[in-house]
Amino acid sequence: MKNIFIATVIFLMGYTLTAQNAFKGQVKDSQNTPLDGVTIISENNQNKGVSTDVNGNFSITLNAPKVIVKYMGHETRRIVLNNHFNTIILKESTENLEEIIVSASREEQKRSEVPGAISVISAKTIEETKPFGIEQLVNQAPGIYMSTSKASSNEQHMMAVRSPISTKSLFLYLEDGLPIRPTAVFNHNALLEMNDVSFGRVEILKGPASSIYGSEAIGGSFNFITKEPTPELQGSLGFEINDLGLTKYSFDAAKNVSEKLGLYLGTQYIQRNNGPIQHSDYEKFAVTFKTVYQIDPSLRWTNVFDMVDYRSDMSGSLTEEDYQAGNYESDQTFTERIAKAFRFRSTLDKVWNEKNKTSFNFVFRNNTMDQIPSYRIRQIRQNGQLTGEGSGEINSNTYNSFVGLLQHKKDFNFANSSLIIGATADYSPQTYVAESITVFVDPSTGINTGYNLNNGDYILNYNADIFNYAGFLQYEINPIENLKITAALRYDRFDYDYNNMLDGQAGPKDSENNYDNFAPKIGFNYNFTNRSGVYANYSNGFTPPQTSTLYRNSYVGVGGEVFDLKPSHYDNYEIGGYFVSEKWKLDAALYILDGKNTLVTLRDTNDEFYNANAGEIRSYGIEYGITYKPIPELSLTHNGSFAKHRYIKFYEGGIDYSNTDQETAPSLLGNTQINYHPNFIKNFMLGLEYELVGKYNTSFENQIDNGDGTFSTATYDGHNIFNLRASYQLKQFEIWAHALNIFDSLYSTRASFNQYSKENNYSIGNPRAFHVGIRYKF
């Protein structure tokens, strides 16, 4: 009997072993990109499972071929594996709660775990939008207005996020979670140094994010995430043209060249000639090269190279008379901006075990921006008449940056908690040189016809070494199942070492300026179901003075003490919620953003700019997004905001402007889209877009003296613009068309009051225009 029992056991073991099969395969998303970290679990024994590697590959040995395939942000599938190679495609989840966010902590999180207002522009949205300007993407997010004109701005822009339309350092621009510019060298035009061909996705985190990112993350943080290599060769070759004088050539390609190494290359060349606005030509060449090397299953090495070569005319703004008359003849003939930017990022991601991982980052930046700026041109008048002369300048700003960032995440068994700790250091020496020019003006037309450089007549010539170092931590915990609490804190220190190269000739004397700050954040998420939830947070943001504002101020005489502007501090209080159903997707956020010592740029009666701290301000409002899909082929989306932006304490020129509205601060912003994918025409899409910018003040309240004892406020009435787009794909070819401003409305992307001329100046929007493109995909 004993021998029979042993023989039976051996037989059953052998049968069991022979019944087990090894199954192999790869998991991809709908864009054919491999998915790393997908969980494949046996349906019969859910303790049996594996995860995909960086190339999306897996191998699992099972008794039965039925498995469950799960991945955050994608629909869960039940699959019966076959004995051959299994290719599994996961579709992105339509549920907002399953969106994956990386910008809130530089780590992957579900949207439902982020206590803040965040918008995601997905790869699918980018593909459908076919943007030839970054504003066509980011302006789809609630409360975002990127102000730029396709007729004249040439990617030069301003931004409004929980703030007026501004040039101030209230916005942080990131690539793959790292700032594209150093602290204190902010440029509101920094997005022209990006390569939009390489964007795989965009995440916009609204409100202060200084607890993770530090300075300048006030109104919003824009994280542009680059595309990844793909298992098989994929790419495209495109050409675009429009009747605004622009042509664009683009190429990108991606492939895993081996089991460990993947490559991505994206490049574009843009040129504009003879557009509807005079003196608005430009050209840009941009290239992004990315390598991803899986050294071993737990160690990944990523390198990204960016290079941008940009040159543009600066047509300047239009006077009230020219704007209303539709006269697009620019007064400028020689003003320009030239930017050369190079960035290199190297990242090592190490997974020590299932609860510990570390990211090591090194960044090098090299940037030069040369300008003859239109906003520095001043025409000289006598008794209100042009004299034929004017003044201006040529300036150049160059910097190098050396950045290190270390971040570690540890997960704990206790209450599903985790801790992120990190440190960063950024050393960025820079030089700035500005020389004056004499401008020649045609008195009969007001056109600036030429200039002479006044050699040796320096406005500024200095070196400034900037050193920023910081430490940060973020702790997350689920004390109960549906509640997640997040707390974060960051300390920053800034050391500026300013060396005037023209002692006693121009600019203030040598100076060392130091600033530091603690930025806390605390928030919670409570999810009622996997389709609805609420959140609340308090966060602090700050920004130190920029070197361009600190060492260039009309209050300071030659050789005087540096006018030590104060850092600006912001406190943000926010509540929000989200709801998703099969047909509806809703999200909303209510916020109050209080600022102290906010920096403003003012223009005196001599038509010269200077900077000052504005005392206290307050912005408050609601941001909301609504998407409705009555049928699978049709979607209707409206993203908007209603806000007020007020001076709480502000004195200018001896006048009290406290408790008044800020200028260039529209209360209403909206973007509405209707997209239709008809079943009866495969691979065809038709879209209608409506852009709303509400009325706003262009001057301080009651700034204008009417000369009769009364005072008034200059305003801009806002605008309503409609755009159409359509696309069609036939095999490997795709064609598309945009009809912009289809009713040919006269509008301005930004209007401002000129105290010198006592009237508004306008950055003209584009007239009715048509843009077409064709792309070959391989």
List strands edge to edge, sheet with 66-70: 49-51, 39-42, 66-70, 77-80
Tokens of 597: 């010592």
Other C-beta atoms closer than 10 Å to the C-beta of 524 total 16
Tokens 């990204």 sit at which residue? 304
Cα(447)–Cα(452) distance, integer angstroms = 16
Residues 6+ apart with CB under 8 A from 670: 638, 639, 640, 641, 690, 691, 692
- Sequence-separated (6 or more) residues with CB below 8 Å from residue 153: 749, 763
Residues 48, 23 contacting (CB under 8 angstroms):
no
Q: Which helix (H) or strand (E) holds 474?
A: strand 448-480
Q: Of 647, 628, 542, 540, give the one whose Cα is nearest residue 584.
A: 628
pTM across the whole model: 0.88
Contact by Cβ (8 Å): 92, 30: yes
**Helix, strand or coil for residue 306?**
strand
Enter the tokens of residue 227.
């595309």
Question: Which letter does DSSP use for residue 561 in this model?
Answer: P
First to last CA, the chain: 68
Q: In the chain, which stretches have pLDDT less than 70?
A: 1-19, 31, 54, 73, 93-98, 554-556, 601-611
548-571 pLDDT, tens digit each: 888 887 566 787 888 778 889 999
pLDDT recorded at residue 416? 92
Amino acid making up residue 711: F
Cα gap 34→53, rounded to integer Å:
9
Read off the tokens for 557: 């005489």
Residue 283 CA to residue 270 CA, distance in Å, equals 5
Would you call 296 exposed, middle or buried from its count of C-beta atoms within 10 A (0-12, 13-18, 19+)?
exposed
Percentage of the chain lying above the pLDDT 70 cut: 94
d(Cα 214, Cα 397) in Å, to the nearest integer? Answer: 23
pLDDT at residue number 452: 97
- Predicted confidence at residue 100, as pLDDT, reads 80
- The bridge status of strand 66-70 relative to strand 39-42 is antiparallel
SS3 569: strand
pLDDT at 16: 43
Where are the extended beta strands (E) located within 650-732? 651-652, 655-656, 660-661, 668-676, 684-693, 696-697, 704-705, 711-712, 715-716, 719-730
Amino acid (1-letter code) at residue 360: F
- Put residue 208 in one of left, alpha, beta given phi > 0 → left and psi -120 to 50 → alpha: beta
Pair of tokens at residue 307: 């290079």
d(CA 177, CA 105): 9
Q: Is 232 exposed, middle or buried (0-12, 13-18, 19+ CB in 10 A)?
A: exposed
**pLDDT by residue (tens digit) across 485-500?**
999 999 999 999 999 9
Cα gap 464→440, rounded to integer Å: 33
**Which residues, 6+ apart, have CB-to-CB distance to 125 below 8 Å?**
137, 140
Answer whether 501's CB lies under 8 Å from 463's CB: yes
Residue 315 has a pLDDT of 92
Q: Which amino acid is at 186?
A: F
Q: Answer yes or no: are the C-beta atoms of 622 and 643 closer than 8 Å.
A: yes
Q: Quote the tokens at residue 226.
A: 């680059």
Q: What is the DSSP letter of 415?
A: G
CA atoms of 351 and 101, how far apart (whole Å): 19
CA angle, 137 as apex, 132 and 143 as ends, to 5°? 140
Cβ neighbours of residue 14 closer than 8 Å, sequence gap 6 or more: none
pLDDT attached to residue 549: 81
- How far, CA to CA in Å, does 292 sit from each of 2, 26, 254, 741? 59, 18, 11, 42
The per-residue DSSP string of 104-139 comes to: TTSS-EEGGG--S-EEEE-HHHHHHH--SSTHHHHT
How far, rounded to the nearest angstrom, does the alpha carbon of residue 581 sit from its chain's CA centroid? 29
**pLDDT score for 11:** 44
CB 334 within 8 A of CB 372: yes
Beta bridge partners, 224, equal 175, 202
Burial of 22 (0-12, 13-18, 19+ CB in 10 A): exposed
- Residue 514 tokens read as 């130091």
Q: Which residues pair with 206 in a beta bridge?
A: 220
pLDDT of residue 369: 97
CA dist 468 and 401 (Å) reads 11
Question: Both tokens of residue 169?
Answer: 């350092």
Q: What phi and psi, each to the nearest 5 degrees, are found at residue 548?
A: -70, -25
* Dihedral, CA of residue 252, residue 174, residue 416 and residue 37, to nearest 10: 10
Amino acid at 409: K
3-state secondary structure at position 219: coil
